Chain A
Amino acid sequence: NAGVTQTPKFRILKIGQSMTLQCTQDMNHNYMYWYRQDPGMGLKLIYYSVGAGITDKGEVPNGYNVSRSTTEDFPLRLELAAPSQTSVYFCASSRGLAASYNEQFFGPGTRLTVL
């Protein structure tokens, strides 16, 4: 049981390049989330999904896109990388609102630098 896995661990992009951050969970969780964490800050929600085919914007969605075609996978797409997107990105999953114990489990993170 791997939990939440993310690839890649590190990436350097040039301004204007695009990339996809991968996230997979094997806990059969319904809900999945993408966060970014800037130095000295808490986590900010980018996008979230309550099930396959359903995605919604979080607090800081600009410059990002997501899709959720399966329960397991929730990739995050950066279309035109900007220096402001330099951050550490975390994917997380949870059982869902109906669950009585609903903590979010986090992946190991992707450290992205845009130069």
Chain B
Amino acid sequence: EDKVVQSPLSLVVHEGDTVTLNCSYEVTNFRSLLWYKQEKKAPTFLFMLTSSGIEKKSGRLSSILDKKELFSILNITATQTGDSAVYLCAVELGEYGNKLVFGAGTILRVKS
């Protein structure tokens, strides 16, 4: 059974802290790994990772994939209250339909 596990389930930090969110996976046919941010509405796309060791960066957010150890991390530096959200990790399967298998998400709360 394909599965994606995220950790921690939730965390609370103060503004300015750096956080690392983890995502591990076990799937039969990996195509890519995606990170989404969800703020009480639709998930919004952050990153798509297909190759190991290549960091993707967008402002204070960055992510990297390790296809040998089957995990990815999402880093957020200098956190702000606007970063408070649920962060979802999903693996795209390389088969008919490009289905996504989602983790349960990490709830991040940034306190001012």
Interface residues of A (CB under 8 A from B): 4, 31, 33, 40-45, 48, 50, 56, 58, 90, 94, 96-97, 101-109
| With contact pairs A102-B92, A103-B34, A103-B48 given, residues A45 and B99 touching in the complex (Cβ less than 8 Å) | yes
Interface residues of B (CB under 8 A from A): 4, 32, 34, 36, 41-45, 48, 88, 90, 92, 96-100, 102-105
Contact between A42 and B4, CB atoms less than 8 A apart: yes
Contact between A105 and B45, CB atoms less than 8 A apart: yes
Contact between B100 and A109, CB atoms less than 8 A apart: no
A107 to B36, CA, bound (A): 13
User: What are the residues of chain A within 8 A of B104 when measuring CB–CB?
Assistant: 40-42
Contact between A90 and B98, CB atoms less than 8 A apart: no
Contact between B100 and A104, CB atoms less than 8 A apart: yes
User: What are the residues of chain A within 8 A of B36 when measuring CB–CB?
Assistant: 106
User: What are the residues of chain B within 8 A of A108 when measuring CB–CB?
Assistant: 41-42
Contact between A106 and B98, CB atoms less than 8 A apart: no
User: What are the residues of chain A within 8 A of B34 when measuring CB–CB?
Assistant: 103-104
CB-CB nearest in chain A for B44 = A106
Choose among B32, B41, B103 the residue that contacts A102 (Cβ–Cβ < 8 A).
Answer: B32
B87 CB, nearest partner CB in chain A, Å: 11
User: What are the residues of chain B within 8 A of A104 when measuring CB–CB?
Assistant: 34, 45, 100
Contact between B92 and A43, CB atoms less than 8 A apart: no
Contact between A31 and B98, CB atoms less than 8 A apart: yes
Contact between B100 and A45, CB atoms less than 8 A apart: yes
CB-CB nearest in chain B for A103 = B45
| With contact pairs A42-B4, A42-B102, A102-B92 given, residues A48 and B97 touching in the complex (Cβ less than 8 Å) | yes
